[in-house]
A and B are shown apart, each in its own frame.
Chain A
Amino acid sequence: MFEALLQTLGLSAFSLQGFGPLLLEGSWMTVKLSILSLLLSVLLGLLGASAKLSSLKLLRIPAQLYTTLIRGVPDLVLMLLIFYSLQTWLTSFTVAMEWEYIEINPFGAGVITLGFIYGAYFTETFRGAILAVPRGQMEAATAYGLSRAQRFRFVVFPQMMRFALPGIGNNWMVILKATALVSIIGLADLVKAAQDAGKSTYQLFFFLVLAALIYLLITSASNVVLRWLEQHYAAGSREAVR
């Protein structure tokens, strides 16, 4: 279909030359990686935020250390550090236990690495959002006899989401753009596909611009979804008339 479109536009010099499926696979890899790391980092973020707001010092200090250290170091450095060290540690562990050599699946390692890094950013987002929910809400829920889990699920979470959504959207965009770096640690994502296709057809510029446009498509689509979500969670709140 894309080929036919190029033909009709008179741009047949810019043909995909059979690299369409490769690019599609790369895009799917990018999307898959971003979504899985988003889920992991949201989970870590919720845990981190509750640890940071906990009354126990034993939980607060590690959480504080986690967010400060991870957010102070560039994601690419952490990616290389964690990705390569994971394998080294696992190898020395298996040698010590006299097990067989286990090679880490690069995709899994990529998800764990990205999830761990952006978990720190989500911790801060969720901490701010939980603090933004008025205290009275929590007290009222307690007065109604809701349990801890029920208070979070039915009272705090739906209200927190409204405050957290702009931050979540921001972090999602950052994760999506950070996945472009995983080709450096050897994953076959969109950037890698575009580079391979460009190098073998001598049309590197065309394929890289195409990859950039695919990223633009994904970010624009997520913008639409985020706007919808923001409207959904803004139910019952009014913005000041401007």
Chain B
Amino acid sequence: MIELLQEYWKPFFYSDGYHITGLAMTMWLLSASICIGFLVSIPLAIARVSPHFYIRWPVQFYTYLFRGTPLYIQLLICYTGIYSLAAIRAQPVLDGFFRDAMNCTILAFALNTCAYTTEIFAGAIRSMNHGEVEAAKAYGLTGWKLYAYVIMPSALRRSLPYYSNEVILMLHSTTVAFTATIPDILKVARDANSATFLTFQSFGIAALIYLAVTFALVGLFRVAERRWLAFLGPAH
């Protein structure tokens, strides 16, 4: 295991000499998809709880589609499926976008995590305390102000435990990226495995890195919860 690490620690952590690989690539995939997913899911979550059927329904359909199918299939559709369509290749812009494996992967991951995050935030908005909203309305807050100053801050805080779960699941899901030729941690482990035949050690190192990142994320979210969910704790 030591020899394997001596030879492969660099690609496992940040670079194979030409490209970003390993841990750095995994973290980039994770942060890019989580950021896009987060930003898009907030308006979608508000639409998801809308009283109007025609606003609510398309969002519900989107989350149903993306939560009901495996991420691996979604990635395959984005990466190989869409590019196999002649109509896409005929358009220079779309052709350029879908030719790059990185774009396809982040698109698939962002769409997937956005669907789950939308449901989490929508659930938090739905379980909003009536009194809080009524008080805000009594103070004259309406429309986007009601959402920006009262509903969203409260809903985002209360969804933090579920959101941290989703981020960790997303970290675990980034492993399928290697099927789209993205050089993440697992791809390096597979390369190390096929070069040295040290199967257990190669995948073991990958597993340990993922474990460390998971624990770090759990720790970070615990700090965040202590900071932002303090009002839910027992009174001092």
Contacts and interface: CB of A to CB of B under 8 A. Distances in A.
Interface of A: 69, 72-78, 80-81, 84-85, 88, 176-181, 184, 191, 195, 198, 202-205, 208-209, 211-212, 215-216, 219-220
Contacts of B203: 77, 80-81, 84-85
A202 B214 contact: no
B199 interface: yes
B72 interface: yes
Contacts of B80: 204, 208
17 contacts: A72-B211, A76-B175, A76-B186, A77-B175, A80-B186, A81-B207, A184-B179, A191-B72, A204-B81, A204-B84, A205-B84, A205-B85, A212-B73, A215-B69, A215-B70, A216-B65, A216-B69
Nearest to B186: A77
B193 A180 contact: no
A73 B168 CA distance: 10
B206 interface: yes
Interface residues of B, number: 37
Contact of A77 (B64, B71, B76, B189): B189
Contact of A191 (B73, B193, B204): B73
Contact of B199 (A85, A198, A205): A85
Contacts of B85: 205
B137 interface: no
Interface string B184-211: 0010011001000001100110110011
Given A74-B172, A209-B81, A219-B68, 11 more contacts: A72-B211, A73-B214, A76-B175, A76-B186, A77-B189, A88-B200, A181-B70, A204-B80, A212-B73, A215-B69, A216-B64
A49 B85 CA distance: 49
A85 B201 CA distance: 10
Contacts, number: 103
Contacts of B82: 205
Contact of B71 (A177, A179, A184, A203): A177
Contacts of B176: 76, 181
Nearest to A222: B68
B90 to A, nearest CB: 14
Nearest to B215: A72
A84 B199 contact: yes
Interface string B95-130: 000000000000000000000000000000000000
B70 to A, nearest CB: 4
B72 A74 contact: no
Greatest chain B CB density within 10 A among A69, A75, A78, A81 is at A81
B110 to A, nearest CB: 17
A184 B82 CA distance: 21
A216 B77 CA distance: 15
Contact of B68 (A74, A81, A84, A216): A216
